[in-house]
Amino acid sequence: MSAQKSTKNYTMNMCEGSIVGKMLLFALPLIASSLLQLLFNAADIIVVGKFAGDNSLAAVGSTSSIINLLTQGFIGLSVGVNVLVARYFAGKQEKQMRDLVHTAMTVSVVSGCALAIIGFIGAKQFLLWMQSPPEVIDLAALYMRIYFLGMPAVLSYNFGAAILRGVGDTRRPLYYLAFSGMVNVVLNLLFVIVFHMDVAGVALATVISQVISAVMVIRCLMKEEGSIRIEKQYLCIDKKVLGNILQIGIPAGLQSCLFSLSNVVIQSTINGFGSTVMAGSAAAANVEGFAYVAMNAFAQATVAFVGQNVGAGKFERINKIVLIAQGCAAGIGLVCGNLIYIFGEPLLGLYSDSSLVIEAGMLRLSFIATTYAVCGMMDSMVGALRGLGYSVMPMIVSLLGACAFRMAWIFVFFQIERFHTIGTVYIAYPISWIVTLVVHVICFLVVRKKFGKSESIA
């Protein structure tokens, strides 16, 4: 039985019919999944901030940039899996699909184990390099060590979800995330409030919930009867398939790492302003995430939609797909970002009772949340280029437009005495988004001219 038949209630043909309607059907469960994940992450921060104090809040919040730096390279490989699954599904290439699925899931476990070791051993040294204040560094290191023990589960879930998204299924990952997230919230309350485990309790609850979501997505794939079914005897790493994944996934992962690296530099700079600013920035970043994931769902939709249409040879639909995704991302960014800023004080009040922490968070929101639409448009253009099979190009643009620019901003402009303020740090984000978006649009227009409506991409 083919994957199309075995998952007929969940898969989506993105090569025919209304683009707007199908993109919304694809993106809405993805948005819901991401929002749920953020709500559960917010529960982590709210519980630790309310019941363990501002130092614990700062400790948990300050680890996100270094965690992202270490994990995004591996998670980026799932982008390659997503693109290839979309192509094979649309092209009905079932043998290639089966080889891809088993290689991808094997790579996820091996990579997760490697990350767990790196993160556990290097946690404190990474935080020292980031100039974390003495009052939070031990708490942050403890949180990171426990968190990284869950890396095999994190990558297994991400790769499994990428396979399902490639065939148009964004609903089942939502169901699994909802269940595991509710477990996370309950365990947070139990470990922190009842057992007084502080940041260790938050981290342990997160790891347990990640294991649950990974088990559920793997079980789903093992119960399939088509070409996306996981069978134990076929689990191995096919070198040719791995090469195809790496061709798209390495540039995507490296791009994410470059963004994360620039964020580590910025977080290190923020750390220099003390624990109050750190706590405010951590809370604001968590709130901003709700707008970001809603926009980013359309970037992921762009990858899948463009990928399937490339696989089916429907190149005439690509321009329309990109324009619709851009419009959706920009609209959501404008509305959600500005609503977050307008209601910022009560939202930040959920994380901390300190007026100074709330004030620090509002300053960040004024620079970043209000300009988030540009970030959403930038990500959608990246999705379009990846779906077309061009992954190195957006990586290079991101290297120059985000990483290099932000670092130059911090190491040159920020060092001027009159500009040595936290506001100068935050404004680096929207400026880098604008620069990178413009270059991505130019790259897309150049790439699009390389083939006609019925030609294949080289």
Separation between Cα atoms, residue 248 and residue 159, nearest integer Å: 14
pLDDT at 191 over 90: yes
pLDDT at residue 9, as a whole number: 67
Separation between Cα atoms, residue 141 and residue 125, nearest integer Å: 9
What is the residue type of 335? V
Per-residue model confidence as pLDDT tens digits over 225-261: 788 999 999 999 999 999 999 988 888 787 777 777 7
Separation between Cα atoms, residue 261 and residue 43, nearest integer Å: 26
Q: Which tokens is 285 given?
A: 């970043």
Q: Which tokens is 340 given?
A: 């977050």
Per-residue model confidence as pLDDT tens digits over 403-425: 788 888 988 988 888 888 999 99
Q: Are 203 and 126 in contact (CB under 8 A)?
A: no
pLDDT at residue 108, as a whole number: 95
3-state secondary structure of 305: helix
Separation between Cα atoms, residue 349 and residue 358, nearest integer Å: 7
Domain-by-domain residue ranges, the chain?
18-448
Q: How confident is the model at residue 120 (pLDDT cuts 50, 70, 90)?
A: very high
pLDDT at 4 over 60: no
pLDDT at residue 455, as a whole number: 44
Q: What is the mean pLDDT of residues 11-35?
A: 85
Tell which wins on pLDDT, 53 or 295. Answer: 295
Per-residue model confidence as pLDDT tens digits over 147-171: 999 999 999 999 999 999 888 888 8
Q: What is the mean pLDDT of residues 329-344?
A: 94
SS3 content of the chain, % helix, strand, coil (to 5): 85, 0, 15
Q: How confident is the model at residue 8 (pLDDT cuts 50, 70, 90)?
A: low
What is the residue type of 364? R
Q: How confident is the model at residue 2 (pLDDT cuts 50, 70, 90)?
A: very low
pLDDT at residue 164, as a whole number: 92
Quote the percentage of the chain above a pLDDT of 70: 96
pLDDT at residue 215, as a whole number: 97
Separation between Cα atoms, residue 386 and residue 392, nearest integer Å: 9
Separation between Cα atoms, residue 180 and residue 195, nearest integer Å: 21
pLDDT at residue 92, as a whole number: 83
Q: Where are the alpha helices (DSSP H) in 52-93?
A: 54-62, 64-90
pLDDT at residue 160, as a whole number: 94
Per-residue model confidence as pLDDT tens digits over 297-324: 899 899 889 888 887 778 888 889 999 9
pLDDT at residue 83, as a whole number: 83
The CB density around residue 214, as the number of other CB atoms within 10 Å, is 26
DSSP 8-state symbol, 318 = H
Separation between Cα atoms, residue 169 and residue 9, nearest integer Å: 9
Cα dist. 81→150, 170, 242, 268, 330 in Å? Answer: 21, 15, 10, 33, 27
Q: How confident is the model at residue 452 (pLDDT cuts 50, 70, 90)?
A: low
pLDDT at 367 over 90: yes
Q: What is the pTM of this model?
A: 0.74
